Amino acid sequence: MHWLVLIISGVFEAVWATALGKSEGFSRLGPSIIFAITVVISMGGLAFAMRELPTGTAYAVWVGIGASGAVAYSMMTGAEAASIAKIVCIIAIVAGVIGLKLAS
């Protein structure tokens, strides 16, 4: 259960990071509201997961999912240039996250 919540929280981290960028310094209302809601959900899920999972592992998985999700979204929408090197690095992050899960 804690792993599932952590994974979902990582996805919400990607959402709030993307919304933060689109808020243009909180000057746009819609993305600012999405940021505020999703950052609370994401942090709350991380806090819940840390009740049972080691802090370092939980945080690394959360950040890895959020960072790779945000970059993947940016590349899919054209906001960031895609390249083989970036895709390989995202795969390496995801592989590291999976490795942390398997090592736990």
pLDDT tens digits, 53-76: 999 999 999 999 999 999 999 999
Residue 104 has pLDDT above 80, yes or no: no
C-alpha–C-alpha distance, residues 82 and 78, integer Å:
8
pLDDT, residue 5, reads 98
Contact between 64 and 79 under an 8 Å Cβ cutoff? The reply is no
Q: What is the DSSP letter of 54?
A: -
What's the token pair of residue 30? 């819609």
pLDDT, residue 2, reads 95
pLDDT, residue 28, reads 98
Amino acid 53 reads L
Average pLDDT value for the chain = 95
C-alpha–C-alpha distance, residues 103 and 26, integer Å:
39
Q: Which residues contact 78 (CB under 8 A, 6 or more apart)?
A: none
